Structure 1
Amino acid sequence: MSQGMSVTNLRLKYPGDDAPLIFQGVSLSIEPGEKVLLLGPSGCGKSTLLQVLSGIVPDMIELPLKADDIRRPSRWGYVFQDPDTQFCMPYIDEEIAFVLENQEVPRAEMPARIRYYLDLVGLQLPDPHTLISTLSQGMKQRLAIASVLALEPEVLFLDEPTALLDEEGTKQVWDTIRRISGDKTLVIVEHKISGMLDLLDRLILLTPEGRVLADGPPLTMFEAHKAQMREYGIWYPGVWTDYAEERELKGLAGEEKVGVNPRENGEKGRAGEQELLCEPIMTFRDFNGLRGGQIKTSVDNFSVYPGDWITVVGANGAGKSSLLLAIMQLIPTRGSCVIAGAKGNKVEQLAEQVGFVFQNPEFQFVTNSVEDELTYGLPEGQPKQGQWAAAERLLREYDLLALRERHPFQLSMGQKRRLSVATAMVREPQILLLDEPTFGLDARGTMRMLEQLERLRASGNVIVMVTHDHEIVQRWATRVWTVDGGRVAEAAPAGKLGADGAQPAEAAPAGSALLYTATGGEPLPCK
């Protein structure tokens, strides 16, 4: 039988005299076999609480902590957001064998045990001695779960295990967890809740300050505390519909309307549509991105125009991230990708016109404070004074003002993501390349970011965004690119993709730009 756990009057803070308390007297208990979701806005301490309950804090990560009592399980496993950070070995079978070896399992028993755990999570592979790097993100996360199951845990801590996955990968992971959870205790942190609510017994709702606001059955909680969830910017069923209605009401009241697809509402697709803009800002001609000498992404003859918001969709491993890396010349390329205004195709030359956001925000951080990240690389002096003012504005707009002195690695995942996007915007580039910029964000952070991007797009900037979120594709994009096996194709207009993101029979012609009149909202091809 799974083990229970509890914490009484927990107080915790990050190091530093000016660091605020994360928890101020939190108390909760979880009984054996319960399936519990910790739900709250970004930065409220959900992942930290998970680490306290498991013992990672303070046993492995030393943080100032006090509590009247903490009762932890002795046999537990922890699954992180990014499976690549969890692996110790290069090959699938070696990863599980590493765990078994530490469990003192005899070598002769290992092959059968490895097959058993892989079958348990639905990874039926012809040869388990396969490089982990060749797996999709969904397969990697199932492997991470298999390696944790090899510990024979009674408690599983799941820290946003589907954050980096597409819809199919997300479904696979939750199906796996349903299949293996049985009488195990599950303690889950997750923003993408729609695919796992039936799994839960309880929902513990945290305030932005890290206090426990309410605790109860999920459906009851969503009914009783929807107003607070909406106020805190927490994801809940129906949040997109409520957001659209709120924006519509503000639009009727005469406020700026953003976040509504111009195809559906007849709004301007670009700034200054009194005169249609037909000069491309980026052109592709037989452009390929390579890794290990192999073509990982391929664009034939496309043109991108001021005011395009292009969402890039496709399955995990299709080549979406490779496309952005190739445009930024961060991987070897062949063919032509010409960016207007760039003085060459070196990374440092492109950086004047192109802002880039990695899928993992930590890859971007090079300084010791949030404020320094935003101002790093900005030129001194009057000519670029506006960019320094922009840095201050972005601190406010991305809710980072109170964190300006905090080390970037001390931020929550949602805060790191907001910072990474802000750093790409501070130079006011013509083009923004964003790789899953909303993963790990709560609803408020997501909507705020999308509104900011829409303002940039409306002023003529180009957004190229990799995303698995079909709500974003349908509500915000002006163009959609699908990536399948590395090849990029123009898909149907935004809002007309299938539920799986697949391209329907009638697709927009490759390389066409879709422009809008000031009043009609009908797309016009700009040759």
Structure 2
Amino acid sequence: MIEANRGVATMQSAVHETDQGADQRADQGRGQIAVSVTDLRLKFPGEKAFVFKDVSLSVPAGEKVLLLGPSGCGKSTLLQVLGGLIPAVIDVPLKYADIRKPRSSGYVFQDPDTQFCMPYVDEELAFVLENRQVAREDMVPRMREVLGRVGLDLEELHIPIERLSLGMKQRLALASVLLLEPEVLLLDEPSALLDPEGRQQIWEAVRGVSAGRTVLIVEHRIEEIVDWVDRIVLFAPDGSILADGKPAEIFTAYRRTLQENGIWYPGVWEDYIRHRDTWNTGRVQSPQQGADLAEPVLSLRGFVGLRGNAPAIMVEEAEVHAGDFIAIVGPNGAGKSSLLLSLMQLLPTAGSYVLEGRLLQGRGRKRTCPSDRIGFVFQNPEFQFVAQTVLEETAFSLHMQGGMSRAEVERKAEDCLKTFHLHGLESRHPYQLSTGQKRRLSVATAAVRRQAVLLLDEPTFGQDARNAFAILEYCEALRRSGTAIVMVTHEREIAELAATQVWEIRGGTLTAIRPGGRMLKGDGAASDAQGEVSG
């Protein structure tokens, strides 16, 4: 899978030509079929269950289609089949009665880091323009124009892509595909890592170039596109197609099905608030007695996190107490992830940093951040993985902690995987999971060992509604037990529902601290009894 992704990045950067003859290239006009597959059967090597069993889908040219379904149902895999990436680049055996692939297509991946084949922003965009034989003198104006269209306004274009936040990388990935001007756009959660303003900009950019083009979209957060797509294809958890029709028809006739399968739909947060107990997110036993709330578990004074020699995040003064739920908000690239990396001392820091009364930074001292007291969920879950199987990954921190037999470690790890709906995947390599499953595994590996503070960088991205709510409920259960939750999020609803405080970061500075909404008060579903977080 890792090697396949490297090939995918190269493939997407140029217009993908499929050898289907002049007759198909001539029928790409409105009303003709742009992409289709009939009786698709696909099963990943080593797996018993089929991802698809006799699935058929046909998309006319110029149509805008949303593929909607729960995490892990195969939406991204189907997009890769229709785009020709499977099996041309990603080697997965499949069968079908008939398939029609696009003559030219541009693909935006869930993980933007798999998209790029050049190290610098300008080189990545120039690579596309060179393939399209654009004159050198016209390249920079075109780069500026497309970056502005997706909301990525950079003073300097020759900067390393690795210095961009994941949200900024997502904008760059879309910009590179828009430069292709393909006949078919294949978009796999292109806005998952963006702030609300960024999501709006991304979809405005897609709308602006999509006239006459075919667009297939996989997306969980659909508010910005439900009034624009022509059609929704609704998938069941087993990869079969439940329904195919206009958005209004799907949301009216299948609302109960959407809720039962944990799929996002307009008004889903409101339904969750009103009917929390019916969402089957699971129940979690509070793991320990509440801690002393009087003293801060974490305090910062004149704290600075550095990238190179420049400040990436500055905090004049802030405190976190046991049982707090801190939601960190702000635009992409503001410094939210830099704050969490600095708290883990994965970036150089200055100023005063005290954790549980222990001075980690200040007065000439610098100590290692104690991993047994503070946990971290990276924004990119793959940065977190160190083991060869899902079970080993979950058990790793327990082995490092010590004090438990191998049997106890495996039992606790297996229980944690059940909690995060990852049972049955114990022997799979973490990199072979879907994006949503990787995200849940990264949360599980951090949560399996109870700590005083848990830092989470956008833990709900790539999740369907049920799993997003389940992660939120699990964090709420930890909070009630005394663990301090510090979560970076672009979801306004999380700040309103769960946060005791909201920290706003802009331009590399913590600019405001205000009370959160705390609508999850009381003895809700998260703290009553042992059970699964995800159904």
Out of 59, 63, 79, the position equivalent to 1:34 is 63
Displacement after TM superposition at 1:392 (Å): 2.0
Q: What is the CA distance between 1:228 and its match in structure 2?
A: 0.9
- Structure 2: gaps of 5 or more residues: 1-28, 524-535
Give CA deviations for 1:183-222 in whole Å, capped at 9, x if unaligned: 1000000001011112200000000010011000011101
TM-score, structure 2 as length reference: 0.83
Structure-2 separation of matches of 1:239 and 1:338: 40
Alpha-carbon deviations, 1:298-326, whole Å to 9, x = none? 22232221101111111111111011000
User: In structure 2, what is the Cα distance between the partners aligned to 1:404 and 1:431?
Assistant: 27
Match of 1:311 in 2: 327
Q: CA deviation at 1:337?
A: 1.5
1:264-291 CA-partner distances (Å, limit 9, x unpaired): xxxx9x9659xx7302211212211100
Whole-angstrom distance in 1 between the partners of 2:215 and 2:275: 35
Shift of 1:242: 1.4
Amino acid at match of 2:506: D
Query: Using a 3 Å threshold, how does the CA distance of structure 1 residues 126 and 341 change in structure 2: closer, same or farther?
Result: closer
Are 2:374 and 1:361 equivalent residues in the alignment?
no
Look up the match of 1:236.
Answer: 265
| Cα drift, residue 89 of structure 1 | 3.0
Equivalent-residue separation in structure 1 for 2:74 and 2:296 (angstroms): 45
Letter in 2 for 1:190: E
Q: 1:431 aligns with which of 440, 446, 453?
A: 453
Q: Structure 2 vs 1, CA of residues 142 and 222 (structure 1 numbering), >3 Å: closer, same or farther?
A: same
Q: 2:77 aligns with which of 44, 48, 56?
A: 48
- Deviation at residue 368 of structure 1 after TM alignment: 1.7
Q: CA deviation at 1:122?
A: 6.3
1:413-445: per-residue Cα shift (whole Å, max 9, x none)?
Answer: 111111000000111112100000000000110
Contact map agreement 1:280 1:306 (CA 8 A) in 2: yes
Query: What SS does structure 2 have at the residue aligned with 1:402?
Result: coil
SS at match of 1:368: coil
Tell me which residue corresponds to 1:460. 482
Query: Could you tell me which amino acid in structure 1 is paired with residue 437 of structure 2?
Result: Q
2:40 counterpart (4, 10, 31): 10
The SS at the match of 2:38 is strand
Offset of 1:179 from its aligned partner? 0.8
**Displacement of 1:113 after TM fit?**
4.7
SS of aligned partner of 2:51: strand
> What corresponds to 2:93 in structure 1?
64
Letter in structure 2 aligned against 1:5: V
1:223 and 1:292, CA in 2 relative to 1: closer, same or farther beyond 3 A?
Answer: same
Go from structure 1 to structure 2 and tell me whether the alpha carbon gap of 1:168 and 1:108 turns closer, same or farther (over 3 Å shift). Answer: closer
Cα distance change of structure 1 residues 487 and 35 upon mapping to structure 2, 3 Å threshold: same
Rounded to whole Å, the distance in 2 between the matches of 1:35 and 1:517 is 43
Would you say the 8 A contact 1:378–1:388 is kept in 2? no
Superposed CA deviations along residues 42-95 of structure 1, whole A, max 9, x for unmatched, are: 000111110000011110000121111111001000112343432333444332
Give the corresponding residue for 1:510. Answer: none
Which residue is equivalent to 2:174? 145
- Greater shift, 349-358 or 107-116, is seen at 107-116
Q: For structure 1, which segment, 88-97 or 354-363, has the greater mean C-alpha deviation from structure 2 after superposition?
A: 88-97
Unaligned 5+ residue runs, structure 1?
259-267, 498-515, 519-527
Could you tell me whether the CA contact under 8 Å between 1:387 and 1:426 is conserved in 2? no
Identity %: 53
Gap change, CA 1:111 and 1:20, over 3 Å in 2 = same
Secondary structure at 1:198 match in 2: coil
TM-score (norm 1): 0.84
Q: Any residues of structure 2 matched to 1:86-165 within 5 Å, and which?
A: 86-107=115-136, 110-111=139-140, 113-114=142-143, 117-118=146-147, 121=150, 128-129=157-158, 132=161, 140-165=169-194
Q: 1:167-182 maps to which residues of 2 (within 5 A)?
A: 167-182=196-211
**1:76 alignment partner AA:** S
Q: Deviations over 1:111-153 (max 9, x none)?
A: 5554564566566766655655666655544433332233231
RMSD: 3.1
Within 1, Cα distance between the matches of 2:367 and 2:422?
Answer: 28
Q: Is the CA contact (8 Å cut-off) linking 1:34 and 1:184 kept in structure 2? A: yes
- Amino acid of the structure 2 residue aligned with 1:376: F
Question: Offset of 1:480 from its aligned partner?
Answer: 1.2
The CA distance in 1 between the partners of 2:151 and 2:491, in whole Å, is 25
Q: Does 1:284 align with 2:284?
A: no
2:464 aligned residue (439, 442, 448): 442
- Against the structure 1 CA distance between its residues 469 and 112, is the aligned structure 2 distance closer, same or farther, given a 3 Å change threshold? closer
| Distance across 2 between alignment mates of 1:296 and 1:380 | 31
Matched, 1:81 2:110: yes
Matched, 1:329 2:351: no
In the alignment, the residues of structure 1 paired with residue 50 and residue 282 of structure 2 have an alpha-carbon distance, to the nearest angstrom, of 37
- For the 8 Å contact 2:66–2:216, the answer to whether it is kept is yes
What secondary structure is seen at the aligned counterpart in 2 of 1:404?
coil
Q: Which amino acid aligns with 2:174?
A: I
2:529 is matched with none
Does the CA contact (< 8 Å) of 2:170 and 2:193 recur in 1?
no
Q: Contact 1:167–1:468 at 8 Å: present in 2 too?
A: yes
Q: Distance in 1 between matches of 2:368 and 2:168?
A: 35
Q: How many residues align?
A: 484
Q: Distance in 2 between matches of 1:424 and 1:92?
A: 33
Which of these residues, 363, 383, 392, is aligned with residue 372 of structure 1?
A: 392
Question: How does 1:179-190 map onto structure 2 within 5 Å?
Answer: 179-190=208-219
- Give the Cα–Cα distance (whole angstroms) in 2 for the partners of residues 452 and 119 of structure 1: 39
- Report the counterpart of residue 412 of structure 1 in structure 2: 434
Look up the match of 2:425: 403
The change in CA–CA distance for 1:470 and 1:225 in structure 2 (over 3 A counts) is same
Q: Which amino acid aligns with 2:380?
A: N
Tell me how far apart the structure 2 counterparts of residues 142 and 250 of structure 1 sit (CA, whole Å): 33
**Aligned equivalents of 2:396 and 2:162: distance in 1?**
32
For 1:88 and 1:456, how far apart are their aligned partners in 2?
41
Q: Please say which of residues 223-232 and 120-129 is displaced more in the overlay.
A: 120-129
Q: Distance in 2 between matches of 1:120 and 1:331?
A: 32
Could you tell me which residue of structure 2 aligns to residue 501 of structure 1? Answer: none
- Deviations along 1:14-40, one digit per CA (max 9) or x if unpaired, are 111x44211111111000000000000
Amino acid at match of 1:327: L
Q: In structure 2, how many angstroms separate the alpha carbons of the residues matched to 1:405 and 1:91?
A: 37
Q: 1:471 to 1:91 in 2, by over 3 A?
A: same
Q: Is the alpha carbon distance of 1:374 and 1:332 closer, same or farther for their aligned partners in structure 2, counting shifts above 3 Å?
A: same
User: Is the 1:9–1:69 Cα contact (8 Å) retained in structure 2?
Assistant: yes
- Partner of residue 261, structure 1: none
Q: Note the 1:225-304 alignment, pairs <5 A.
A: 225-247=254-276, 277-304=293-320
Contact 1:7 1:27 in 2 (8 A): yes
Q: Relative to 1, partners in 2 of residues 1:482 and 1:349: Cα closer, same or farther, differing over 3 Å? A: closer
Q: Which amino acid aligns with 1:14?
A: F
SS in 1 for 2:180: coil
- 1:344 touches 1:350 (CA, 8 Å); kept in 2? no
CA shift for structure 1 position 449: 1.1
Counterpart residue identity of residue 89, structure 2: M
